[in-house]
Amino acid sequence: MEQFIYYIRISLLSIKRAPLPYALTIFILSVGLGVFFANATFYYQLNSDPLPHKSDKLFFPMTLIVPHDCNDCLPPRILSYSNVQKLSSSDIPSAKAAMYSANGYARLHAEQPPVPVTLRITQRDFFSMFDVPLRHGSVWPDDNARDEVLLSRAMALKLFGRINVIGEQLLLDDRYFSVIGVLDHWQMLPRLYDANGRNHLSPGEDIFLPLETGYDLNYQSRTNSRTFDQTDYRKLSTEGRTGARHMLQYWVQLDTPAQQQAYRQFMLNLANAEKAAGRHPSPINNQLIAMADIVDYFGDDPGDIKAFALVTLLFLLVCLFNASHLSLNRYLSNQYEFSLRRALGASRSQLQQQMLADVLIMAAFTLVGALLTGYACIQLMNQLLPNNSLFSHWNLTLLLSLLTITFACSYLVTLYPSLRASFGNLNQQLKE
């Protein structure tokens, strides 16, 4: 340990003799790593798996059960109520939930100004399928219509000023609802259960409402909807349940390969039955997409982040090249000192330990500079790409990755000078 402290002191003295080239090296590395790490943060968060333990068990079934003939059509991304009822008639899935998102206004009583809210209109299995944590209360006991809602933690605080509001009432649009549950801290990112139209980049909803109640009250989808017949969108409670008004997303949980194969066969049998009944004139086209593949299947992967990540990687390589050149110049200016130490008996391993001390000091300064630069770049990108601001936070994995990359880059910058110092011709070095 005493020897290592000595190497640190020698490195600090070397820095004091030529502070400007050293500072410039640190600056170039910090900028390169900071810009790269800012983009890597967004890329990592956007491509992370929010449910790594079960994402391969959650599937998005789609079928081309529509009342028109189309030979080259893909199955619609959203389903009608009647199609969801047919797809959910099987007991093969361990859990299943249909859903859509809507807008509304909430307040505690009619005299208050309304607060705009987003609604997730869904079924009870939604909470178990996507590991939604509850702080207080419970979910609905079944999928029937009922005047009961669950609130996000933030919405409970916003409306009531506290979290435990079980049994309280709120006015949602023009109807009173009882609060039966409040979510704990929860923000599924990316929000893959609603990946259609890049909605997975949006924050979670404020209020959760039963699906049947949403149809009874004629809540329209705020994101995606499509009608394949003359269904009146203002009559969800009647025509919306029987017509070809598509606005639902539907998820099933299939825990085993056998369940997955059985459900594919069930979908094929269903499509054949619809075709035999004359309700399915198009060629059969069923899809069962795993959650991990849903964004790629929809083609909604944000390419701007990938492009920025590639550009910043190239920028980092340029910075490494320039920093290596500056580091070599520092070595050349201190070449006589290294050569003298070799002449006095210092071994190559001791010189390498000296270089390791240089690397540690450089990595420490560079890490601070990279963190500051990365934070500034993230704030700038939040202004330029506000939809991606949810994905700008750092976690322990990212910070450890930055530390590792910083150390590796600092080592690469000093690698060639280290080899020159340790293995170069001693007589030639002393003459120079």
Side-chain-facing half-sphere of 32: CA atoms under 13 Å: 24
The model's confidence at residue 183, banded by pLDDT at 50, 70 and 90, is very high
Q: Are 61 and 78 in contact (CB under 8 A)?
A: no
Q: Please state whether 90 falls in left (phi above 0), alpha (psi between -120 and 50) or beta.
A: beta
Q: Give backbone dihedrals phi and psi of 169, rounded to 5 degrees, phi first.
A: -115, 150
pLDDT band at residue 88 using 50, 70 and 90 as cut-offs: very high
Listed by start position, the domains of the chain span 2-49+302-431, 65-284
Query: In which band, very low, low, confident or very high, does the pLDDT at 331 lie, cut at 50, 70 and 90?
Result: low
* pLDDT for position 21: 75
> Radius of gyration (Cα) for the chain, nearest Å?
30
Averaged pLDDT for residues 262-267: 95
In the 8-state DSSP scheme, what is residue 205? Answer: P
Confidence of residue 64 (pLDDT cuts 50, 70, 90): confident
Question: In the chain, what percentage of residues exceed pLDDT 90?
Answer: 37
Tokens of 350: 């001791």
Q: What is the pLDDT of residue 427?
A: 47
Question: What is the pLDDT, as a whole number, of residue 426?
Answer: 45
Chain mean position to CA 346 = 51
Asked if 388 and 201 count as a contact pair (C-beta separation under 8 A), the reply is yes
- Mean pLDDT, the chain, rounded, equals 83
State the DSSP string of 186-213: ---SS-GGG-GGGGGGSPPPSEEEEHHH
The H-or-E segment that residue 59 falls in is strand 58-63
- What is the C-alpha to C-alpha distance for residues 349 and 245, in angstroms, rounded to an integer? 74
Structure confidence at residue 1 as a pLDDT band (50, 70, 90): low
Task: Report pLDDT for 107.
Answer: 93
Task: Tell me the HSE value of 2 on the side-chain side, using a 13 A CA sphere.
Answer: 0
Residue 215 has pLDDT above 60, yes or no: yes
d(CA 311, CA 376): 18
Q: Is pLDDT above 60 for 165?
A: yes
Helix (H) or strand (E) holding 260: helix 257-276
pLDDT of residue 131 exceeding 70, the answer is yes
Tell me how far apart the alpha carbons of residues 117 and 114 are, in angstroms, rounded to a whole number: 9
169-172 and 175-183: which strand pairing?
antiparallel
| Res 122: pLDDT | 96
Q: Is the pLDDT of residue 333 over 60?
A: no
- Collapsing DSSP to helix, strand or coil, 431 comes out as helix
Kindly indicate the confidence band of residue 99, based on its pLDDT and cuts at 50, 70 and 90.
very high
Q: SS3 for 187? A: coil
Contact call for residues 227 and 246 (beta carbons, < 8 A): yes
Whole-angstrom distance, CA of residue 323 vs CA of residue 317: 10
Strand ranges, E, within 159-290:
169-172, 175-183, 207-210, 226-227, 245-253, 286-290
Q: Work out the average pLDDT over 390-411.
A: 84
- Specify the higher pLDDT residue, 116 or 312: 116
For residue 380, what pLDDT is reported?
86
pLDDT number for residue 430: 44
Tokens of 356: 């390791």
What is the dihedral sign for C-alpha 207, 211, 217, 219?
positive
CA–CA distance, 117 with 267 (Å, rounded to integer): 36
Neighbours of 52 (CB within 10 A): 9
CA distance 260 to 268: 12
The DSSP 8-state label assigned to residue 389 in this structure reads: G
36 near 401, Cβ under 8 Å? Answer: no
**Pick the residue with more confidence: 271 or 324?**
271
**Can you count the helices (H) and strands (E) in the chain?**
14, 12
The answer to whether the beta carbons of residues 260 and 288 sit under 8 Å apart is yes
pLDDT bin (cut points 50, 70, 90) of residue 59 is: very high
Return the exposure string of 145-155: e unless at least 16 CB atoms fall within 10 Å of the residue's CB, then b.
Answer: bbebbbbbbbb
Q: Which residues contact 9 (CB under 8 A, 6 or more apart)?
A: none
Indicate if the pLDDT at residue 249 is higher than 90.
Answer: yes
Burial of 257 (0-12, 13-18, 19+ CB in 10 A): exposed
- CA–CA dist 218, 239 (Å, integer): 11
Q: Is the omega angle on the peptide bond into residue 50 within 30 degrees of 0, that is, cis?
A: no
CB atoms within 10 A of CB 295: 21
* Residues in the chain, total: 432
Tens of pLDDT, residue by residue over 352-369, are: 666 777 777 888 888 899
* Residue 426: partners with Cβ closer than 8 Å, 6 or more residues away: 339, 342, 343
